[in-house]
């Protein structure tokens, strides 16, 4: 007889499709900490109905891969709601049925008190397996208002899934990979001198000496979840500030240090760390198994803090939380902070994964004030999260970095979140990265991190919000503005989709800093890229001593007011040295008044296809170092954009406020070229083609 087991899922992200929201982190929905008439804005998420707009939006949940969706016997949604009475404004919850592409109603706010926190519960009915997407295992919960009279606050929302044990499935390992557009050609030569600044550079690779084995690429797929969000069951081991490492680790006799748990946990254990500050660096010295991960997490409803105040950063094993050569580990719900040094060439890292680790999940952590406070231009590096694949023969693989918040990091020439070296099969999803002084997310190759197979590959960068990033003022760069929200430097077979990249120096960059080496087979699609100081999308080597960008796809992105500063060095699209066989189609380029749409200073390029785009509000195009001030002259002289639109306002909903969705009367609707490279879903997770043909930009209307 199968045993019934329940697991509670927390939302990984929320999406607003109509109306507005307060912009608070999704983690505010993870903890029920408001009651009565409490009103701590920093602890809930506000959903708004500005002007005449009703609210519509949804939260994403993901069923752990070891649970067979056919074994589900119940789905319950629990909400802590504060808002108006139903008689004044109805707020309705629904769950998405993937089998018939429709929403099923769950319930509404009828039982809620007027503007007092009320816990509501709803039960899903029907064929429950249909509410779990077969490939990505997503469960989607919608919230709607019936009018625009008022707002509502949510302090907590969770989905509890009850299922029969014994229907386990294997953990999938696929990663979304872009198609290869065309064959690579032999590079031409040229002698143009570039004018852009030197992009930011990563460093601090460790060494390794193994013999190379060629990597095996994975299959193309919709982004899966490669590690479970949690293990079924409850906490089995406990750590508390008042504990003792001589205890047995039970709830009544907890261990004192997280390190004790990291030395002692067994496969299947869920180590729950009680609230408080733990002034220790932690090295995880245990591994789980494929069917029994080891989870290290904050105790439910509490936050455990790894605090680096006063700790010395070592030359090796330098992560505040360090995972080397371990497998089947999940770390979630911690705050990691205050890990700092001023000593040259020491590198503080909040969370570091290295060696040959695999099947690692880093989820829902807050990482901040990881800093190198030295004053030298070189040797003042730091990272928030770093994955360094250091073996030439055994790649790090099946790594998921999801739902984390990284901010207030002083990085020198390094990055907030980096995948570097021999890393094959990884996902960076649903993270919020902001207010750091160098690159937000970077996937790197050819830096010498591994002796061979030294290339981050087969990766997914999706549903992240990256903003407020500049290298100006960073000791490694002086006043140079060259920090990207998202950067691929020498990586290959990577999809960058459904992200918001804004208020950085560069929105998204795909380039290779190493001569004779290429960034290749990268797809940038269905992203909002806006208000970056110097460039929206940048590609190609920053000078003639760099590498190339090859066989990449840039489709269905919405770019707005990039190169926004008066002395900006770039454009909405910045095409640099040695670009080959890239596709640039179905994008909206809404430039600042008088600004260039495209800057392309190098004549070293071949096979690039540019068409079916929309240009609005800008003044010029540059292609192969020739500048055109009329669209017809640009079309004729460059051979680009024969089917593109110029001068038509795309009618974005509120571009100045960061809402780049299309209004229903936009001329960008149904005028694109339907491409397999555009993917299955737009930026909101809706079907990518809904009308006669695909819409331009990241948003699909009809």
What pLDDT digit, counting tens, does each position of 206-237 carry?
A: 333 332 222 232 323 333 333 333 333 479 99
Predicted pLDDT at 159: 95
Name every residue whose Cβ is closer than 8 Å to that of residue 639 and which is 6 or more positions away in sequence: none
pLDDT in tens, 408-447: 999 999 999 999 999 999 999 999 999 999 999 999 999 9
Predicted pLDDT at 465: 97
Distance (Å, whole) CA 677 – CA 180: 9
For the cut 80, the answer to whether the pLDDT of residue 689 exceeds it is yes
DSSP helix/strand/coil, 299: coil
DSSP helix/strand/coil, 329: strand
Is 529 a domain residue? no
Mean pLDDT of the chain, nearest integer: 88
Predicted pLDDT at 140: 96
Q: Go through 490-526 and write b for each residue having 16 or more CB atoms within 10 A of its CB, e for each that does not.
A: bbbbbbbbbbbbbbbbbbbbbbbbbeebbbbbbbbbb
- Give the domain CATH number at 65: 2.60.120.260
Is 125 a domain residue? yes
Mean pLDDT of 399-406: 96
Is 374 a domain residue? no
pLDDT band at 100 (very low <50, low <70, confident <90, very high): confident
252 secondary structure, DSSP code: S
pLDDT in tens, 606-649: 999 999 999 999 999 999 999 999 999 999 999 999 999 999 99
The listed range with the strongest mean pLDDT (40-44, 71-75, 622-626) is 622-626
pLDDT band at 172 (very low <50, low <70, confident <90, very high): very low
Distance (Å, whole) CA 23 – CA 434: 13
What's the first-to-final CA gap in the chain, in angstroms? 48
Name every residue whose Cβ is closer than 8 Å to that of residue 89 and which is 6 or more positions away in sequence: 49, 83, 145, 146, 147, 149, 150, 152
The structural domain count of the chain equals: 1
Is 458 a domain residue? no
Domain with 77 in it: 4-164
pLDDT in tens, 103-129: 999 999 999 999 999 999 999 999 999
Is 270 a domain residue? no
Is 238 a domain residue? no
Mean pLDDT of 380-401: 96
Is 603 a domain residue? no
163 vs 172, more confident: 163
DSSP helix/strand/coil, 494: strand
For the cut 60, the answer to whether the pLDDT of residue 205 exceeds it is no
Is 31 a domain residue? yes
pLDDT in tens, 548-598: 999 999 999 999 999 999 999 999 999 999 999 999 999 999 999 999 999
């Amino acid at each position: 007889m199968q045993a019934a087991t329940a697991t509670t899922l927390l939302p990984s992200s929320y999406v607003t499709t109509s109306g507005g929201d307060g912009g608070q982190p999704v983690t505010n929905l993870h903890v029920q900490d408001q009651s009565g008439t409490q009103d701590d804005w920093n602890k809930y998420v506000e959903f708004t109905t500005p002007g005449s707009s009703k609210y519509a939006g949804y939260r994403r949940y993901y069923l752990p891969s070891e649970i067979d969706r056919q074994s589900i016997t119940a789905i319950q949604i629990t909400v802590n709601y504060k808002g108006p009475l139903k008689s004044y404004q109805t707020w309705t919850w629904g769950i998405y049925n993937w089998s018939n592409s429709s929403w099923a109603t769950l319930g509404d706010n009828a039982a809620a008190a007027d503007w007092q926190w009320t816990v509501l519960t709803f039960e899903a009915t029907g064929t429950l397996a249909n509410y779990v997407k077969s490939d990505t295992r997503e469960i989607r919960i919608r919230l709607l208002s019936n009018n625009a009279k008022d707002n509502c606050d949510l302090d907590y929302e969770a989905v509890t899934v009850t299922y029969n044990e014994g229907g386990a499935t294997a953990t999938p390992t696929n990663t979304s990979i872009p198609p290869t557009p065309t064959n690579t050609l032999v590079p031409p030569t040229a002698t143009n001198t570039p004018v852009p600044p030197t992009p930011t550079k990563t460093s601090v690779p460790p060494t390794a000496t193994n013999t190379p084995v060629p990597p095996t690429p994975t299959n193309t797929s919709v982004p899966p979840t490669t590690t479970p969000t949690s293990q079924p069951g409850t906490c089995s081991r406990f750590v508390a500030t008042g504990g003792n490492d001589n205890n047995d680790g039970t709830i009544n006799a907890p261990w004192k240090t997280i390190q004790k748990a990291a030395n002692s946990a067994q496969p299947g254990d869920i180590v729950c760390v009680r609230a408080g500050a733990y002034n220790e660096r932690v090295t995880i010295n245990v591994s789980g198994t494929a069917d029994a991960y080891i989870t290290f997490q904050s105790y439910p409803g509490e936050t455990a803090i790894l605090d680096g105040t006063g700790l010395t950063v070592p030359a090796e094993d330098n992560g505040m939380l360090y995972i080397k050569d371990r497998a089947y580990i999940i770390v979630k719900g911690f705050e990691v902070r205050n890990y700092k040094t001023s000593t040259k060439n020491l590198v503080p890292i909040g969370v570091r994964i290295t060696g040959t680790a695999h099947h690692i999940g880093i989820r829902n952590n807050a990482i901040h004030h990881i800093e190198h406070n030295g004053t030298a231009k070189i040797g003042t590096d730091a990272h928030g999260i770093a994955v360094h694949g250091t073996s030439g023969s055994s790649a790090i693989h099946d790594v998921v970095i999801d739902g984390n918040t990284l901010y207030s990091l002083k990085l020198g020439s390094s990055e907030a979140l980096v995948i570097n070296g021999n890393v094959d099969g990884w996902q960076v999803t649903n993270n919020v990265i902001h207010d750091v002084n160098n690159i937000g997310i970077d996937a790197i190759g050819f830096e010498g991190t591994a002796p061979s197979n030294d290339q981050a590959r087969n990766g997914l960068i999706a549903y992240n919000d990256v903003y407020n990033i500049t290298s100006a003022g960073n000791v490694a760069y002086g006043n140079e503005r060259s920090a990207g929200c998202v950067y691929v430097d020498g990586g290959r077979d990577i999809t960058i989709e459904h992200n918001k990249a804004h208020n950085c120096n560069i929105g998204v960059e795909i380039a290779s800093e190493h001569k004779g080496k290429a960034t290749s087979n990268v797809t940038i699609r269905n992203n909002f890229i806006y208000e970056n100081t110097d460039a929206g999308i940048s590609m190609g080597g920053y000078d003639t001593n760099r590498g190339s960008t090859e066989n990449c796809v840039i489709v269905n992105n919405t770019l707005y007011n990039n190169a926004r500063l008066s002395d900006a060095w770039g454009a909405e699209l910045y095409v640099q040295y040695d670009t080959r066989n890239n596709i640039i189609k179905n994008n909206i380029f809404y430039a600042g008044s008088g600004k260039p749409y495209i800057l392309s200073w190098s004549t070293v390029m071949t096979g690039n296809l540019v068409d079916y785009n929309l240009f609005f509000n800008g003044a010029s195009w540059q292609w192969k170092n020739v500048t055109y001030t009329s669209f017809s002259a640009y079309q004729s002289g460059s051979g680009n954009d024969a089917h593109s639109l110029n001068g038509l306002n795309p009618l974005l909903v509120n571009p100045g406020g960061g809402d780049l969705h299309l209004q229903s009367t936009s001329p960008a609707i149904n005028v694109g070229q339907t491409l397999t490279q555009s993917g299955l879903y737009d930026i909101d997770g809706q079907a990518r083609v809904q009308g006669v043909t695909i819409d331009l930009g990241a948003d699909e209307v009809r």
